[in-house]
């Protein structure tokens, strides 16, 4: 079988080389700033509570290390079906209340918690 024709590869222009060289020291700084923002989100107050969605709720503070606690909401349902919901980076557990409502209506016990440095977690 004959080989397909190869298209010639153009070498990069001087302008694109200069841009690459200029961006090289900036890229690690940009990555570090994104990582910092992901693990140190801005302080924000929780805007919603499970009661706002008609969910029965118990507030929990779960100790996990010396002077550290995880804040969680427990919305009781069936003892046979339990779901633990986390949230996305930079958000709080109140962002998962829509999912919690759906699961609770389906009969699940739902526990929502805040990740470290998010929401009510200390």
- Residue 42 pLDDT > 80, yes or no? no
Q: Which two tokens stand for residue 107?
A: 């009969």
Tell me the C-alpha distance between 75 and 56, whole Å.
5
What is the pLDDT averaged over residues 77-88?
A: 89
- Residue 70 pLDDT > 60, yes or no? yes
What is the pLDDT averaged over residues 38-43?
A: 70
Domain chopping of the chain, boundaries: 50-113
**pLDDT tens sequence across 11-35:** 889 998 898 888 888 989 999 988 8
> Which strand (E) or helix (H) includes residue 68?
strand 68-75
What's the confidence (pLDDT) of residue 41?
66
Burial of 90 (0-12, 13-18, 19+ CB in 10 A): middle
pTM: 0.62
């Amino acid at each position: 079988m004959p080989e397909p024709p190869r298209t010639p590869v153009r070498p990069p222009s001087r302008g694109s080389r200069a841009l690459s060289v200029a961006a090289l020291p900036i890229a690690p700084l940009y990555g570090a700033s994104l990582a910092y923002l992901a693990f140190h989100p801005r302080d924000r107050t929780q805007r919603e509570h499970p009661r706002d969605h008609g969910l029965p709720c118990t507030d929990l503070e779960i100790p996990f290390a010396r002077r550290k606690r995880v804040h969680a909401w427990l919305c009781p349902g069936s003892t046979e079906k339990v779901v633990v919901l986390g949230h996305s980076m930079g958000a709080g557990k109140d962002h998962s209340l829509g999912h919690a409502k759906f699961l609770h209506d389906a009969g699940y016990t739902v526990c929502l918690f805040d990740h470290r440095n998010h929401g009510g977690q200390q």
